[in-house]
Structure formats: structure tokens, C-alpha cells
């Protein structure tokens, strides 16, 4: 109990983490004022409560009930959440920039509350060598509104060790999709997994067994589903089961796939489109995606697994194509749909309704992706990057394509209820306010940033 001569302590929510210990002197020195203090209903250590968040040099350096700061931003009852980390996007840069580029894709991400994107390697040229990965990094270096990491593609014979210092993770396609990054032989998968395991990086896998994918002529979404059955997903997961290392199964799409993953030490993603759309959704080729939209029963099973906390990561699998692409005959039209700007806002609307628990959403969109990929992000915690989204839970509105920022110019979620962020901060810098970009493009490579902190 404190007496008149005792030193009052600042309110704390729990004991310090290792990251907090690294910033202890900065927190308590009291000699300087912080760059920015943001106050509001913040999600700290698993609960929403009124907190002040002190930010300096892009990092959270203090969390307390009240903090002195050079610039104070009192947000009242608005909610402060960690910025989302999207572990699966295709920003089409370089080579496919009629569909999207790193500037438009990362702006769309920021406007959707995503402060870090992890980009896939199936561009033109594909990022499957150290040289091509370095060229891609150089090409996008000054375009990004949010932080980013790049996946390296794995092909038989790829020099994985050479790519590892530049890659946030590695990607394998077991089933054919956009691009020509296909690995079908078990011996090649085993060799790739062993090599990736030695680097300490994550191996993300598009888990559809090419041997079970048919290529019959398609004219409707149900045709696409028949060509790519759930059995192909299950078979691919079973083939992965004996491989070493940290394996992440991308865009799980079926109840059978979920069952096959039980008791396996893999992480798994799910997308908004596989939870909210199914084979009966309208849209013709606009609804064509790999893996395909499946049955209502599959959709509900995925959503139930998500809200119960069984899914590790929420991913958009943002894979935009132009309207002209999608207006082609169904069989010729490419697979993929945009989602980086709409995924989190739709989940926020479901959170407001009480359908998605806040702790489940924050874990899947921020905490777990940060943990899986080793990023000092994903939590409102001292020592982590000050990536924040500020939302007004009263500001739900229908999605309108005219308000979105992706270059592709369409969305499968027109009219769906969403809560778009009021403000988005990347490392303490305001980049979006009420759906408009502000300031400068501040995004940087998370792999380079991680090395510089080591």
C-alpha cells in the first residue's frame, strides 16, 4: 500500500514481456517527450480498455492510463486495434501491373486496415531466384504505403539458401494456378521442405493435388468446383503430413480439409471469400478462384472454425484481375478475386454484431501472423511497431466499388456491410484517414527492417 512518501507507479496491465524489457529505460527515463500519444479504447493484452499509447521512432514505447506527449490524439470511445497483417496477397508487380501494382495494392491494404502485406512470388518474371527476388525488391522499394515482405517461389532445383536472406517465407504450389510454379513430385516437395526448414523460414503451400485436378471445359462455378474437388485438398494435406519444418496451409476451402488438418502441426489460413461465398453465389467468372468456392456446408464449417478460434490466420488471397479478364468466357477467364481492402472491414462489421469475437479477430488478423512470420508487430505492446487501426464501430456502411482503391475496379462483396478504419498508422505515421491517403508512402521491407534490428 502506498503512503505519502512512496513513489506512485504507472498503471500496468501485466508483467513486462522481453520486448518491454528492451525498452524499459526509454519508458521510465522521463527526460524526453514522445513523438505521439494516441488515446482511446485500445485492445491491450486481450481486453478493450481506455489506454494511452506512447509512440517514438515508429515503436510503441509506453502504454499507460495517461502519458505526456509532444502530440496528443484523444480518440474518445473510438477503438484502437493492432494493424492487420495479411499473409497472402498477389500485388501483381512486376509484370502484371494492368491488374494491380504495389502502389495501388498497398493503398488498398491501408484503407482496409492492413499495415503489412506478404506478397506471393507468381509475378512476371516469377521470384524464384535470388536475382529475380532482388530485382523485384528494387522495383517496388518506393511504392508501398504499408510494410511488406516477399515470398520466394520454390521450384525443383531452386537455390533456397540464396533466396532466404531476402524472403519472408517460401511458397509452393501443389496445384496449378496463376503462373507456372508447380511442384507435383513428392521427392521434390521433400527436398524443398528440408531446405526451407534449414533456413528457419515458413513454407506456405497451395494445397491442391494436381493429380486430382481435372481440366474439363468449364462454363459455371459448379463446373470449376467439379474440376477441383475437396478430395484434391485433402490429398495434398496428407502428402504434406510427413514433411519437416514450419508449414502453413494456404486458403483452406473445405470441411474435409479442416478435418485432414486436425492433429497436424501446421498453421492454416482461411479467406473471407471461402467463409462468405459459395458455389451458388452469383458472379459467373467473377466468382472463379483457386481453390474454388465450395458448398454452403463447407462455407459454414470454415466460418464456424474461424469464430471458434481454430483458424490461425485470416488472409485475403488478394488476387485481382481486370474486368476485361473476368468478362471472358468462363473457361478462359483467370482465377482470383480482390480482397485486401474488404476482408478486415467485413470481419469488423461481424465483430460489431457479436458474431466474431474481438479476441479471435485480433489473433487471426494480427497476433498469429506476426508470430508465424517472426515480426515485431501484431500487438499493442511495448517494443512492437506502432501499427494501429482506429475504428468507429458505429460507422458501418455497405461496400461500394467506387470507394475502393484496387486497380482492378471490381469486388465480389458489393453491398456487404463493412466497417472501414477511421485512421490507419504504419509505425506511428498516419497513412489513411477516412478512406483517403495522407502523408507519404512509408512502407518498408520487413525482412530488411528485421535484420537491421538484430
**pLDDT tens track for 157-186:** 999 999 999 999 999 999 988 777 899 999
Q: Are 219 and 283 in contact (CB under 8 A)?
A: no
Using 50 as the pLDDT threshold, list the residues of the chain that sit under it.
1-13, 26-31
Please tell me the predicted confidence (pLDDT) of residue 18. Answer: 61
Q: Residue 131: which domain range?
A: 83-377
Residue 8: per-residue pLDDT: 32
Any domain includes 247: yes
Q: Name 371's Cβ contacts closer than 8 Å, sequence gap at least 6.
A: 378
Note whether residue 120 is domain-resident: yes
Are 39 and 52 contacting, i.e. CB atoms less than 8 angstroms apart?
yes
Residue 309 resides in a domain: yes
pLDDT reported for residue 56: 96
CA distance 154 to 37: 43
Q: Are 184 and 173 in contact (CB under 8 A)?
A: no
Return d(Cα 93, Cα 88) in angstroms, integer. Answer: 14
The question of whether 216 is a catalytic residue gets the answer no
Count of helices and strands (H, E) across the chain: 16, 18
Please report whether residue 77 resides in a domain: no
Tell me, what's the pLDDT at 24?
52
Say which of 119, 147, 317, 387 is annotated catalytic.
317
111, with CB counted inside 10 A (0-12, 13-18, 19+), is buried
Q: Is residue 257 part of a domain?
A: yes
Strands 246-249 and 202-206: parallel
Per-residue confidence (pLDDT) for residue 5, from 0 to 100: 34
What are the angstrom distances between the C-alpha of 225 and each of 205, 275, 407?
Answer: 20, 16, 28
Within-domain flag for 2:
no
Q: How many domains does the chain have?
A: 1
Identify each DSSP E strand in 239-335 by its residue range.
246-249, 267-271, 313-315
* Under 8 Å between Cβ of 443 and 449: no
| Residue 292 within a domain | yes
CATH number of the domain bearing residue 365: 3.20.20.140
Q: Is residue 358 part of a domain?
A: yes
Tell me how crowded residue 211 is: count the other CB atoms within 10 A of its CB: 12
Amino acid at each position: 500500500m502506498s503512503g505519502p512518501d512512496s513513489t506512485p507507479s504507472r498503471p500496468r496491465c501485466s508483467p513486462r514481456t522481453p520486448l518491454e524489457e528492451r525498452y524499459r529505460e526509454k519508458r521510465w527515463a522521463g527526460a524526453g517527450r514522445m513523438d505521439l500519444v494516441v488515446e482511446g479504447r485500445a485492445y491491450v493484452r486481450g481486453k478493450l480498455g481506455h489506454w494511452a499509447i506512447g509512440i517514438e521512432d515508429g515503436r510503441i514505447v509506453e502504454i499507460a492510463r495517461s502519458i505526456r506527449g509532444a502530440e496528443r490524439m484523444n480518440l474518445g470511445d473510438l477503438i484502437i486495434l493492432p494493424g492487420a497483417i495479411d499473409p497472402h496477397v498477389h500485388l501483381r508487380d512486376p509484370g502484371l501491373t494492368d491488374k494491380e501494382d504495389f502502389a495501388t495494392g498497398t493503398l488498398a491494404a491501408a484503407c482496409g486496415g492492413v499495415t503489412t502485406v506478404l506478397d506471393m512470388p507468381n509475378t512476371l518474371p516469377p521470384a524464384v531466384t535470388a536475382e529475380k527476388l532482388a530485382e523485384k525488391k528494387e522495383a517496388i522499394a518506393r511504392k508501398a504505403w504499408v510494410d511488406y515482405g516477399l515470398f520466394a517461389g520454390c521450384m525443383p532445383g531452386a537455390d533456397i539458401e540464396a533466396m532466404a536472406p531476402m524472403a519472408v517465407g517460401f511458397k509452393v504450389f501443389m496445384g496449378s494456378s496463376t503462373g507456372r510454379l508447380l511442384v507435383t513430385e513428392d521427392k521434390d516437395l521433400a527436398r524443398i521442405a528440408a531446405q526451407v526448414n534449414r533456413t528457419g523460414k515458413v513454407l506456405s503451400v497451395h494445397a491442391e493435388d494436381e493429380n486430382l485436378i481435372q481440366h474439363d471445359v468449364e462454363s459455371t462455378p459448379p463446373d470449376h468446383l467439379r474440376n477441383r474437388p475437396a478430395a484434391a485438398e485433402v490429398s495434398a494435406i496428407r502428402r504434406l503430413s510427413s514433411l519437416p519444418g514450419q508449414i502453413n496451409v494456404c486458403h483452406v476451402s473445405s470441411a474435409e480439409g479442416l478435418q485432414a488438418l486436425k492433429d497436424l502441426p501446421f498453421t492454416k489460413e482461411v479467406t473471407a471469400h471461402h467463409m462468405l461465398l459459395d458455389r451458388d453465389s452469383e458472379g459467373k467468372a467473377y466468382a472463379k478462384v483457386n481453390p474454388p468456392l465450395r458448398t454452403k456446408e463447407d462455407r459454414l464449417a470454415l466460418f464456424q472454425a474461424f469464430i471458434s478460434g481454430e483458424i490461425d490466420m485470416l488472409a485475403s488471397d488478394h488476387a485481382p484481375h481486370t474486368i476485361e479478364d473476368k468478362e471472358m468466357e468462363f473457361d478462359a477467364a483467370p482465377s482470383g478475386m480482390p480482397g485486401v481492402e474488404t476482408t478486415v472491414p467485413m470481419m469488423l462489421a461481424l465483430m460489431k454484431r457479436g458474431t466474431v469475437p474481438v479476441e479471435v479477430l485480433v489473433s487471426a488478423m494480427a497476433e498469429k501472423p506476426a508470430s508465424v512470420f517472426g515480426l515485431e508487430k501484431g500487438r499493442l505492446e511495448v517494443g512492437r511497431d506502432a501499427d494501429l487501426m482506429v475504428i468507429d464501430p458505429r460507422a458501418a456502411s455497405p461496400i461500394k466499388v467506387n470507394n475502393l482503391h484496387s486497380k482492378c475496379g471490381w469486388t465480389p462483396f458489393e453491398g456487404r456491410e463493412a466497417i472501414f478504419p477511421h485512421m490507419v498508422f504504419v509505425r506511428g505515421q498516419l497513412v489513411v484517414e477516412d478512406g483517403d491517403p495522407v502523408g507519404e508512402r512509408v512502407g518498408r521491407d520487413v525482412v530488411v527492417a528485421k535484420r537491421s534490428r538484430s
